[in-house]
Amino acid sequence: MKPNLKWAAVALAVCLPLSAEAHRAWMLPSATVLSGEDPWITVDAAVSNDLFYFEHFPLRLQGIGDTEAVPAGSPPGARPRPAARLSVLAPDGSEVQPQNGSLGRYRSTFDLHLTQKGTYKLAVANAGLFASYKENGQTRRWMGSAADFAKQVPADAEELKVSQTNTRMEVFVTSGSPSETVLEPTGQGLELRPETHPNDLFAGEAAEFVFLLDGKPAAGVEVSVIPGGIRYRDQLGEMNLTTDAAGKVSITWPNPGMYWLEAETRTTAGVTAPASERRASYSATLEVLAP
Amino acid sequence: MRKALLLPLALLAAPALAGELEVGVQIPRLNVAEYHRPYVAIWLERPDQQHVADLAVWYDLKLKDDEGEKWLKDLRQWWRRSGRQLDMPVDGLSGATRAVGTHQLKFDSTRPPLAGLEPGDYRLVVEAAREVGGRELLRVPFSWPVDGPQSAQAQGETELGTVTLTLTP
Tell me the per-residue pLDDT of B28-47, one tens digit each, with 9 for 90 and over.
999 999 999 999 999 999 99
Question: Does B21 reside within a domain?
Answer: yes
Total length of chain B = 169
CATH number at residue B110: 2.60.40
In this complex, is the C-beta atom of A138 within 8 Å of any C-beta atom belonging to chain B? no
The partner residues of B43 in beta bridges, in order of sequence, read B54, B125
> What pLDDT, on a 0 to 100 scale, did the predictor assign at position A259?
98
Buried b (16+ CB within 10 A) or exposed e, A186-213: eeebbbbbbeebbbbbbeeeebebbbbb
Chain A contact for B57, CB < 8 A? no
| Residue of A35, A37, A179 best to disrupt the B interface, most CBs of B under 10 A | A35
Q: Which residues contact A103 (CB under 8 A, 6 or more apart)?
A: A58, A60, A64, A65, A66, A67, A69, A71
- Taking the Cβ of residue A28 and every Cβ of chain B, the question of whether any pair is shorter than 8 Å is answered with no
CA distances from B82 to A176, B11, B52, B88 (A): 10, 39, 9, 11
- The pLDDT of residue A210 is 98
Query: Does residue B1 fall inside a structural domain?
Result: no
- The rounded distance, in Å, linking the Cα atoms of A229 and A193 is 26
Assess if residue B6 is contained within a domain.
no
Distance, CA of A45 to CA of A43 (rounded, Å)? 7
Asked if residue B112 is part of any domain, the answer here is yes
B87 occurs within a structural domain: yes
Interface of A with B in 197-216 (CB under 8 A): 200, 202
A69 pLDDT tier (thresholds 50, 70, 90): confident
Q: Is residue B5 part of a domain?
A: no
Instruction: Choose the closest CB to A36 out of B66, B76, B77.
Output: B66
User: Could you tell me the residue range of the domain that residue B121 belongs to?
Assistant: 17-168
Total domains, chain B: 1
Contact predicate A189/A158, CB 8 Å: no
CB A25 within 8 A of CB A17: no
| pLDDT, tens digit (0-9, with 9 covering 90-100), for B92-126 | 899 999 999 999 999 999 998 899 899 999 999 99
